[in-house]
Amino acid sequence: MATISSAGIGSGLDVKSIITQLMAIEQQPKDQLAAAATKIQTQISEVGKVTSALSTLRDLSSKLSSNTFWNQTTASSSSSAVTVTSSSTALPANYSVEVQQLASSQSLMAGQTFASSTALVGSGTLNIEMGTWGTGQTTFAASSTPSSAAITVDSTDTVESLRDKINAAKMGVSASILTDASGARLVVRSTTSGAANGFRITTSGATGAVATMGYDPSTGVTGATQTRPAADAKATIDGVSVTSTTNSFANVMDGVSLTANAVTTTAATVTVSNDTAAIKTKLQEFATAYTALNSLIATDTKYDGTTKKAGPLQGDSTIIGVQTRMRTLLGATSTASSAFARMSDAGFELQRDGSLTINATKMDNALSNLSQMKALFVDNTSTTTSGEGFGKQFYDTAYSLLTTGGAINSRSTALSDKLQRNQKSQDAMDARLAQTQKMLEAQYGALDTQMASLNGLSSYVTQQVTQWNKTGA
């Protein structure tokens, strides 16, 4: 008898449904593994969030443990004629600043006005040389580093092409064309301000307008007109004269830089003070980061009696341990400062829900004693933990938890390993399920064939009995 090609046809049994139901039972351990994998993935994600929150707290703690952070200053000026910046190396102080002169670049205007920028300028050679003018421009000292150019002017050159030749020389001056109702004029100026960046122009073999472009008062050549001299900025700070080739006076005092914007008529008062506002902002960021970490751990580890659901890290001793260590450290004492023993003395207040807030009045009072407030937080290389500032203590604790081999790092690694083992178990289960399905299909296929054979035999016997009954009748 031929084999049945489609299971169930021969026997009339719903073989496909039977196999599906049996496989659903066999699949249950795999489903449990998949559910466990989803839980592990959620735990890995939440541990990652804890890692990120703890990293933020660690980084802020690092800043608070730095001497440089507590030394930051802010600077202001009583006059817009002088602006000021300061760095962590500046010391709080007041300075009197007067500006007598702004820095400038030398500027010359050619002696002839042209009908347009395309007018011819004549021919000859323009010799341009960088240097420093003496008093009254009666002398000229060329730069010790030669910086000069000989510009050949052809009879076909226009104002525009001469401008381009001067600029192409790239030797410390630039040329441009000034055009107004009276016509076009060639202007040449130093590219850098300061008395040492002056220049003179001499001509040779000059014809036409080129002959009016020379400027060297020390030899009586004044074809061009000087519209602005090369000059240094000049100022006095607390009565001391200072100069600069630009309008910026960098680090004229330790960590203090000034910019002259205008000549002063009365002295400007420059004030450098400790930037307590920036310090307070960073302390608030620390409190916010601590609160965010505590809130995250509280949510991840709680059991909700109303919904009967546990947080993804409920019962996780490592994560609960992080929360405990942070709280313990927050309530600890330190001998680093002679004025403050606890962080609460500096205005940090731990709330009943575990969040950390700032008592502004208390912190402002603490910041008025900045040296001791600084001591409460900075790394002072103490030989004992209790002698270290809290910035250093929080940093060390967070670092030890996050570093390779630390509790958080190890927990994350353990969960990743657990997920890999789960996946291997699922892969092995998939292989077993595939074999089980093949076995069931083979068994029920054979049963279907056997049932089809028996059904055929039963039908034959029934037909024979019926025929015998007819014959006997």
Asked if residue 124 is part of any domain, the answer here is: yes
The answer on 281 and 380 residing in a single domain is: yes
Q: Per the structure, how many domains does the chain have?
A: 3
Q: What are the residues whose beta carbons fall under 8 Å from the beta carbon of 86, sequence distance 6 or more?
A: 73, 74, 75, 255, 256, 257, 272
128 & 145 share domain: yes
Out of 406, 428, 459, a domain closes at 406
Q: Is the per-residue pLDDT at 445 higher than 80?
A: no
**Residue 221, C-beta contacts closer than 8 angstroms, at least 6 positions apart:** 202, 214, 215
Q: Which residue has the tokens 């003018």?
A: 133
Assess whether 95 and 130 both reside in one domain.
no
Judgement on whether residues 153 and 244 belong to the same structural domain of the protein: no
The residue whose two tokens read 């007067």 is: 98
Its domain, for residue 171, covers 107-231
Condensed to tens digits (0 to 9), the pLDDT of residues 250-304 reads: 988 889 999 999 999 999 999 999 999 999 999 999 999 999 999 999 999 998 8
339-368 per-position pLDDT tens digit: 999 999 999 999 999 999 999 999 999 999
Nearest to 213 by CA among 352, 182, 205: 205
For 16-69, write each residue's pLDDT tens digit: 888 888 888 888 988 898 888 899 999 999 999 999 999 999 999 999 999 999
> Looking at the chain, how many residues does it have?
473
Q: How far apart are CA 364 and CA 375, in angstroms?
A: 16
Q: Is the pLDDT of residue 418 over 60?
A: yes
Residue 455 lies in a domain: no
